[in-house]
Amino acid sequence: MAHSLSAKKRIRQNEKRAMRNRARKSALKTEIKKFLTLVHDRDISAAEEQLKKVYKKLDRTADQGTIHKNAAARKKSRLTARLEKLKETAAAHS
pLDDT tens digits, one per residue of 1-55: 889 999 999 999 999 999 999 999 999 999 999 999 999 999 999 999 999 999 9
* Straight-line distance from the first to the last Cα atom of the chain, in angstroms, rounded to the nearest whole number: 66
Task: Please say whether the structural domain 25-93 has been given the CATH code 3.30.530.20.
Answer: no
Compute and round to an integer the Cα radius of gyration of the chain. Answer: 18
Using the 8-state DSSP alphabet, how is residue 66 labeled?
Answer: S
User: pLDDT by residue (tens digit) across 78-90?
Assistant: 999 999 999 999 8
Q: How far apart are CA 17 and CA 21, in angstroms?
A: 6
Contacts of 38 (CB under 8 A, 6+ apart): 46, 47, 50
- Eight-state DSSP code of residue 41: T
